[in-house]
Amino acid sequence: MGLLIRVAPFPVFESQARAIFHTFAHPAALDPTREAVDIMTRHEALRLRLGSDDPLVMAKAWHRFESLEQFEYRDALSDFTSGDSPSSDRKVPEWEKEMYMHKDVLRSVWVELERRGEGWEWVKDVGKGDREGEEVKQEWVELTRRMLRWKDKL
């Protein structure tokens, strides 16, 4: 658990912890044959991408996820823990993928806003008042989208 590289760690840890708990609570849910196939499939995909069968090269690449692979992994863990019930409520939302892909831009925008002394003005009312849950989350998502639009105007 927690060995992945180039991911947003805490959401991955949460998904992994849920899968571990699910496995202890429902040992029959773990399909060793499916797991073996998944391992061989990942090995083959890495071998083709890296152009190498070298065990050291494979070991270094095994826990390094590329681009949106971490979100596919989290969705797969969600499918595993949901069993026969729909897992769409646990799927990674599109906005999270979008913001992850723009994390460097968002970081630079925030640094610029702070440099200008405007950071507090941007966030002061986000998530305040009697709003809660999904509504508050959407306010933060909209803030990050505003930041991306602001960057385009610079």
Domain ranges (residues) in the chain: 9-90, 94-153
Closest to 79 in 3D by CA, of 65, 96, 91, 95: 91
Q: Which helix (H) or strand (E) holds 27?
A: none
Q: Which residues contact 144 (CB under 8 A, 6 or more apart)?
A: 95, 99, 102, 106
pLDDT, residue 64, reads 93
pLDDT, residue 128, reads 81
Model pTM score: 0.82
Apex CA 75: angle with CA 71 and CA 80, to 5°?
145
- Which residue is associated with the tokens 């998904």? 15
pLDDT tens-digit readout, 86-123: 655 678 999 999 999 999 999 999 999 999 999 999 99
